[in-house]
Amino acid sequence: MYDAGLPFSCVNYTDSFGEFIEAVGQYGPGIKPPTYHEVRVPCLKKEVEKTNKIVEEHKVQWKVYGCSIMMDKWTAKNGKMVINVLVNSTIGSVFLEFYDASDSSTNSNKMFNLFEKTILKVGPENVVQVVTDNASENKKADDMLKGVFPNIYWTPCAAHCVNLMFGDIFNFC
């Protein structure tokens, strides 16, 4: 673990890590680890197929029950601004994609374009709402969104609103 740089938390994955340890133990001495190529190509392809199957199951739920697009904008330690896009439905959330927004400002036009692009990707007939923080550019983008998709709502993130309220309270005191 140490020389490979594996995080200590890998032992918390009791299903996969436990099965791995058990399988190695059952094989006994002399087991050969997979090659770099095996891990990088066929094993990775299997994981991609497995992940795509999960995403397809989510897409079925989007069509039946609708879904929410959630966007989380944050700045990494290296100064890059990233917008993570997730889609939430009755069976949970799935990561859709991310955008590197560090080389440009995220004004209302750019946010509207991102909203629109994501809605079209998911399918406007499937989207109930878009959830973001309540930054002014997102509110303005929502005003533009209403003109194109009048049945899709913009919802400010409750956690972000509460965080701002606490900030105001502490600044007031």
pTM of the model: 0.76
Question: DSSP code of 39?
Answer: I
Q: Which of 157, 147, 159 is nearest to 69 (CA)?
A: 157
**Domain residue ranges of the chain, discontinuous segments joined by +:** 8-57, 66-172
**What mean pLDDT value characterizes the chain?**
88
Q: What secondary structure, in 3-state letters, does 108-150 show?
A: HHHHHHHHHHHHHHHCCCCEEEEEECCCHHHHHHHHHHHHHCC
**pLDDT higher than threshold 80 for residue 1:** no
In this predicted model, what pLDDT tens digit does every residue of 110-159 receive, in sequence order? Answer: 999 999 999 999 999 999 999 998 888 899 999 999 999 999 999 987 77
According to CATH, the topology of domain 66-172 is Nucleotidyltransferase; domain 5 (3.30.420)
Q: What tokens appear for 51 in the block?
A: 């992940």
Instruction: Please state the length of the chain.
Output: 173
SS3 67: strand
pLDDT tens string 51-64: 999 999 999 999 99
Report how far Cα 129 is from the mean position of its chain's Cα atoms.
Answer: 16
